[in-house]
Amino acid sequence: MAPKLYFADVSPAVRASLLTIKALGIEVELVPVNLMAGEHMKPEYLKLNPLHTVPTLQDGDFAIFDSHAINTYLTDKYAANDALYPKDLQRRAVVNQRLYFDCGILFPRVSAIVGSLLREGAKSVSKDKADLLTQGYASLETLLERSTYVAGDQLSLADFNVIATVSSANVLVPIASNRFPKIAEWMSRMQSLPYYAEANQVGLDKFVGMVKSKLS
């Protein structure tokens, strides 16, 4: 039986998992979760994920949430090789560090802005939140000065999480290509992946619509 991914592709985290699934070429049953209708708060969903976030993966009797954990689990279990998530400890450590960079720095700064728009009624991105996100861009630019992809010269899981976050961040605080040329080049490289449009752009367009509806 194929694993199930509970998803709402407006979420950058969900899109990171969709990119991973497409890159792995595996069969996963996609189960939509209507966040606006509160489906993520229903008892049956909370049994799978008590933190009521998306995505959530159910693989038989096992359930896991957080896209970073989901993506590494799927890759370890189903990947034909270790190209996306190396078994070599040092190379894997670099990929893990970039995944932690996403979940510890980039994603929380995006989430803070989105939260202010959706839950606090903000009509614009505050300067302090924009500055923090721009600092994140500067760190990513530094990392990309050393390599073609986020965790080296080979595409990895880290690229999927970071592009899903950064493409969303770009809607909130536009990335100036003259200031961050390496990010611009890398984003273009990611956009050329054959599964990028389906796995990320479709949901990103929904994210754009959501954000624009909240901004003055």
Domain limit, last residue, from 78, 109, 135: 78
Q: Say if residue 48 is in the same domain as residue 68.
A: yes
Provide the domain limits for residue 66. 4-78
Q: What is the CATH number of the domain that holds 70?
A: 3.40.30.10
Q: Say if residue 93 is in the same domain as residue 65.
A: no
Q: How many CB atoms lie within 10 A of CB 135?
A: 12
Tens of pLDDT, residue by residue over 19-67, are 999 999 999 999 999 999 999 999 999 999 999 999 999 999 999 999 9
How many structural domains does the chain have?
2
Q: Which residues are catalytic?
A: 11
Q: Say if residue 172 is in the same domain as residue 119.
A: yes
For 215, the token pair is 């901004």
Q: CA torsion 58→63→66→72, rounded to 10°?
A: -80
Distance CA 32, CA 41 (A): 14
Could you tell me if residue 161 is inside a domain?
Answer: yes
Query: pTM for the complete prediction?
Result: 0.98
For 90, the token pair is 């040092």
Q: Say if residue 120 is in the same domain as residue 208.
A: yes
- Digitized pLDDT (tens) for each residue of the chain, 216 residues in all: 899 999 999 999 999 999 999 999 999 999 999 999 999 999 999 999 999 999 999 999 999 999 999 999 999 999 999 999 999 999 999 999 999 999 999 999 999 999 999 999 999 999 999 999 999 999 999 999 999 999 999 999 999 999 999 999 999 999 999 999 999 999 999 999 999 999 999 999 999 999 999 997
Backbone phi, psi, residue 152, to 5°: 140, -160
Domain limit, last residue, from 78, 110, 135: 78
